[in-house]
Amino acid sequence: MRLAGAVANAGGLVAGYALDALLGDPRRGHPVAGFGRAAATLERRLYRPDRLSGAAFTALSVGAPVLVGAAAAYATRHRPIARAALVAAGTWAVLGGRSLRHEARAMGSELRAGDVPAARQRLGNLCGRDPSTLDEPELARATVESVAENTSDAVVAPLVWGAVAGLPGLLGYRAANTLDAMVGHRSARYARFGTPAARLDDLLNLVPARLTGLLTVALAPVGHGDRQQAWRVWQRDRADHPSPNAGQCEAAMAGALGVRLGGRNVYFGRSEARPFLGDGPRPEARHLPRAARISGAVGLAALGLAAAYPLTVGRLTAAVARRAVGARAGRAGHRG
pLDDT in tens, 60-70: 999 999 999 99
- Residue 259, classed as helix, strand or coil, is coil
pLDDT on residue 188: 86
First to last CA, the chain: 33
- Please work out, in degrees rounded to the nearest 5, the angle formed at the alpha carbon of residue 15 by the alpha carbons of 201 and 175: 20
The amino acid at 6: A
pTM equals 0.91
Average pLDDT over residues 206-214: 98
User: For residue range 140-179, what is the model confidence (pLDDT) as tens digits?
Assistant: 999 999 999 999 999 999 999 999 999 999 999 999 999 9
Give the pLDDT band (50/70/90) at residue 4: confident
User: For residue range 244-282, what is the model confidence (pLDDT) as tens digits?
Assistant: 999 999 999 999 999 999 998 887 667 788 899 999 899
CB atoms within 10 A of CB 116: 15
Q: Which of 277, 278, 287 is nearest to 229 (CA)?
A: 278
Beta-strand runs (E) in 77-164: none
pLDDT on residue 324: 59
- Percent of the chain whose predicted confidence (pLDDT) is above 70: 93
Give the pLDDT band (50/70/90) at residue 335: low
Exposed, middle or buried by CB within 10 Å (0-12, 13-18, 19+), for 31? middle
Query: Phi and psi at residue 25, in whole multiples of 5°?
Result: -70, 145
Is 80 exceeded by the pLDDT of residue 323? no
Measured in whole angstroms, how far is the alpha carbon of residue 86 from the centre of its chain? 20
Using an 8 Å Cβ cutoff, are 282 and 215 in contact? no
Pick the range with the lowest mean pLDDT from 70-74, 188-192, 264-268. Answer: 264-268
How far is it, in rounded angstroms, from Cα 89 to Cα 67? 17
CB atoms within 10 A of CB 192: 14
